[in-house]
Amino acid sequence: MRDRMMNPSQIRSAGLAALSKALGPTGMARFIQQFELGTGNYTKDRSHWLNQMSIEDIFSGINKMRNTDLPTEKK
């Protein structure tokens, strides 16, 4: 079987590609959302996180992300 030769990352990538092909990008996202229930109160938590950050902290984080080399996906 082909799946026995694939590592977990390859299986996930192939599965997402199959979902995208069958359902389109929006359908794929909607399908995946059914399994991502999440926990907590995002609105309350977000207010807590944002109230602790200054505008300088936010800009610093953005600049740090822009200057970080992100790993590229190997095929």
Output the CA torsion sign for 42, 47, 52, 58: positive
How far from the centroid of its chain's Cα atoms is residue 30's Cα? 14
Q: Is the pTM of this model over 0.75?
A: no
On whether the CB atoms of residues 62 and 54 are closer than 8 A, the answer is no
On whether the CB atoms of residues 14 and 6 are closer than 8 A, the answer is yes
Does 73 have pLDDT greater than 70? no
Structure confidence by residue, pLDDT tens digits, 9-41: 999 999 999 999 999 999 998 998 888 777 888
CA 30 to CA 24: how far, in whole Å? Answer: 10
Does 75 have pLDDT greater than 60? no
Structure confidence by residue, pLDDT tens digits, 34-63: 887 778 888 888 888 888 888 899 899 899
Specify the pLDDT at position 14.
Answer: 92
| pLDDT level of residue 74 (50, 70, 90 thresholds) | low
Q: Kindly state the tokens that stand for 21.
A: 């092909």
